[in-house]
Amino acid sequence: MKIVIAITGASGTHLGIKAYHLLPPSVEKYLILSDNAKIAAKKENIQILDDDAIWEGPASGSFGIDAMLIAPCSMNTLAKIACGIADNLTTRAASVILKEHKRLLLAPREIPLSPIALENMLKLSRLNVIIAPPILGYYSDPKDLEQMERFIIGKWFDLLRIEHDLYKRWQC
C-alpha cells in the first residue's frame, strides 16, 4: 500500500508527523509539508517532499498512491481542494486522488468553523472525501495527551484501512 501524508499550516502539525511515524513498515510512505508546516518539522530527520515540487510522484495518477491523509488540513488547503485548485504538491496530489477515485482523508483544524468551511466540507464529503477532524473519543479512556493523540491517529488509520493497535476499542 502507498500512502501520502500532507501537513498544512494549521495548529497540530505534529499529529501528521506522528501519524507518519506510526504507519506500519509494510506501507510505502511519502510526506509533504507546506511552507507553514515546515517550521514544525525542522528538527525531524525524515524524508520530506517539497510542496513546491509539483513534479514529484504523488502529482501523477500513474505513481499509484492508494490513499492520502492531510493532517492537519488548513481551511486554505480545504478550500483549494474543494474548488479543484492544484497549485502545490499537496493540492495537486489531492486532486489526483479525487480523479483516480482513491481514498482521501482530511483532518480540518479550526474552531469555530465558518459557513464557507462547512460548505466546502459538505461538498467534499459528497465526493466521498473523508472529513475526520482531530476530535477525541472519551470512550477510549485516555490517560494523557499521548493516548488522546494515538486514539485520533488510530481512527484515521481505521478509515484508511491501515491495521493498528493504537487505541482501546469500544466494548459493552
Ligand X SMILES: Cc1cc2nc3c(=O)[nH]c(=O)nc-3n(C[C@H](O)[C@H](O)[C@H](O)COP(=O)(O)O)c2cc1C
In 2-83, alpha helices (H) = 13-22, 35-41, 75-83
- Report 72-91 residues binding ligand X (CB under 6 A): 74-77
User: What angle do the packed helices 13-22 and 145-159 form, to 10 degrees?
Assistant: 70
**Count of residues engaged in binding ligand X, rule: CB under 6 A:** 12
Binding mask 106-125 for ligand X (x = CB under 6 A): ---xx---------------
Nearer Cβ to ligand X (89/153): 89
C-alpha cell at 5: 501524508
Least distance to ligand X from the beta carbon of 51, Å? 7
Class of residue 36 by CB neighbours under 10 A (exposed 0-12, middle 13-18, buried 19+): middle
DSSP state of 81: H
Binding mask 3-42 for ligand X (x = CB under 6 A): -----xxxx----------------------x-x------
- Report 56-75 residues binding ligand X (CB under 6 A): 74-75
Concatenating the DSSP letter of every residue in 95-117 gives HHHHHTT-EEEEEE--SS--HHH
Nearer Cβ to ligand X (1/40): 40
Which residues are at the interface with ligand X (CB under 6 A)?
8-11, 34, 36, 74-77, 109-110
